[in-house]
Amino acid sequence: MPPPPRFVNGAVAVWCALAAFCLVHVIYLWAIFGMLAQNVADTGHLSRDAAVPLVESRLITLSVVFVILAAVLVFTALHLRMARRWPRLVLSVVGTITVLVTFVAGLNPASLAIFGLAVAAVLLTWHPTVSGWLAHVADLRERDE
């Protein structure tokens, strides 16, 4: 199998960076948990005691979703590097889901960074050089069978 072109390596790196950034973002949200609960209490006409479980449940859900998405992104990106064709579609769908989940939490610098990483990763993943390499490797695999 010919080595992957730099666009493949770049795509894998950006997908892994997106996964890492999502995890760091969740850690940051947990770090500012008290401030988030206070903001919800201030804007939601709730007492702080009522806001804490609400924020906690949302952060737990977001954490679980982002950990799963990050694992899928890294696993699938590594399969792209092994010249499999299916990861391109999976990565595009999971990248879109990641952006949507992030935007549900609101428009902020972190969601814009995640959006930018996802767009860059999708563009690299579907670059013509990547398509040509995948087709070439598929031809080589067919000949070997």
The pTM for the full model equals 0.89
Between CA 59 and CA 65, with CA 52 as vertex, the angle to 5 degrees is 10
Phi (first) and psi of residue 2, to 5 degrees: -70, 150
Per residue in 3-12, pLDDT tens? 999 999 999 9
Per residue in 14-38, pLDDT tens? 999 999 999 999 999 999 999 999 9
Q: CB under 8 Å to 38, separation ≥6 — which residues?
A: 48, 51
Q: What are the extents of the domains in the chain?
A: 6-144
- Can you tell me whether residue 63 is helix, strand or coil? helix
Answer whether residue 99 shows pLDDT above 90: no
Average pLDDT value for the chain: 92
Spell out the alpha helix ranges (H) of the chain: 6-31, 33-43, 48-81, 86-104, 109-125, 128-144
